[in-house]
A and B are shown apart, each in its own frame.
Chain A
Amino acid sequence: MSTVEIVHERPPGVRLLAARRSARHNLAVSAVVLVIAVLALFSIARNHRFQWGVVGSYLTTGAVLKGLLTTFWLTFLVVALGLVGGIVVALLRRSRVPAISWLAWLFTWFFRSVPMLVQIIFWFNFAALYPTLSFGIPGGPTFVSAPTNSVISPLVAVIIGFALHESAFMGEIIRAGLNSVPSGQWQAARSLGMTEGRLLRRVVLPQVIRVVLPTIGNEAISVMKETSLISVIAVTDLLYSVQLIYSVNFQTIPLLIVATIWYLAFTIVLGMLQWLLERRFGRSVRIAAPASRGAAA
């Protein structure tokens, strides 16, 4: 027989030794990192110029908590509207009618490109551009007409702006998710006689959501921070609330730390929410992971 025999020359002890050495190494590195972190924390905590006392006294002030609440609902509203808008934009983008997919592209291009700050000011002044909103035939009779400011308040206009901006970003995320669902899934759903709407609701979107959840979590954090731009139109969100306080008492840094602490906490809440949703939508895959076998392709 001319087969080559493979000899394991390494005695069994060597691997064990290597494992022990790498464990000791990991421990040493961890210790160094920990010491550096503790020193940095100490330096921050003992630096009286941070004014930790002021931070503590304003952390749970009514005005700050009210601002936090505004940031909270604004974030959730914009993410929810953006998600719905994004699904619509992504679906239009896939339309076989060229004019429709082109329109969806144009929407995405426009609302992704214009800085949110510019859009906020623009939408805030929407009533100046269109003082009255009317429903009728252009150049013909008007059926209903009302001053813009009585139909949508500047704040509502800005929220619409936020939602459009977010729809453009979410649209791209959803589009990636739609592309990730194999064409066979669409065909299988169609072969069962599902209409396109049912197919999306029951078969495709649940799979899309699972795939895009991490990216949407990221996006939600971005939105949370972007809502702080709304301070330019004097909406008392978290950031503007602390700005109002420090513009009076000049404790700029401590109050910005107050806002930072709440933004950090909010991010943890968003992260937990994402984790819960990922668990919910990933159930089928998670349960299955260890047993998957059998398909050769």
Chain B
Amino acid sequence: MNWRRLLDHPSLALGLAATLAFALLGLASLIWTPYPIADIAISRRFLVPDASHLLGTDHLGRDMLSLIMAGTLTSFTVGAAAVAIGVGIGVPMGLVAAMWGGPVDWVAMRISDLAFAFPSVIIAILIATLIGPGATNAIIAIGIFNIPVFARVARGGALALSSLDFIGAARLAGLGKAAIAWRHILPNIMSLIIVQGTIQLSLGILAEAGLSYIGLGTQPPATSLGLMLRDAQSLFLIHPSLSLLPGLAIVLIVVALNIAGDGLRDALDPRLRRQELA
């Protein structure tokens, strides 16, 4: 995909730009935040936005802008790492299932069923209890949930392609199953995986928020958008901005990701469809 085609899809451009903006905001927190987020000063708490604290301060006197920057990074990291787990394990599983078929397919799909059948929140609670709550725990719990999703996408895509001529040709040319999967199937289902990836990323960010909200995700002194929501929840009627800001940030990030995902699908799909029709 080249850049000119990006301009043919204004929503894709918009979604990508917004996602990128948030990602950069988060990444920037690694180098610089207006105030250190572990810096607690009770005397400065609940300040309204002004020149020194652009978004005000929270219940511990921490700068809200700094927290949102750091929280955005955590949310992205958790979501992305969970997608990486899903893609890393799910896609090979789906491909193997589709290429080998028969008992292999059966076993792979049962493993995927198993991973799916475990309610992710309960997995998260159990992991949190075992290794202590934290971002890692959220990553694992959401990642496990992502595995069957990507396995099904990869398997479905591979099955749809396997009946097509060029795969048959590759088979006739004597290529092994692994090679076909790697060279011919994977590149062609990449768009499906990328699209699913953006969806799972946005779901992961929402899931992280939910887990942190019930106290199983990110733990202080680190922060995430979900943890900020949790901290601010009981103060909603007194200091609404403390919940509205992180809530809004979550909504905007997820919308940006979804728009980008939809745009990607629109931009990438025709190619896939043409091949299907060929």
User: Do A and B share a complex?
Assistant: no
A residues at B contact (CB < 8 Å): none
B residues at A contact (CB < 8 Å): none
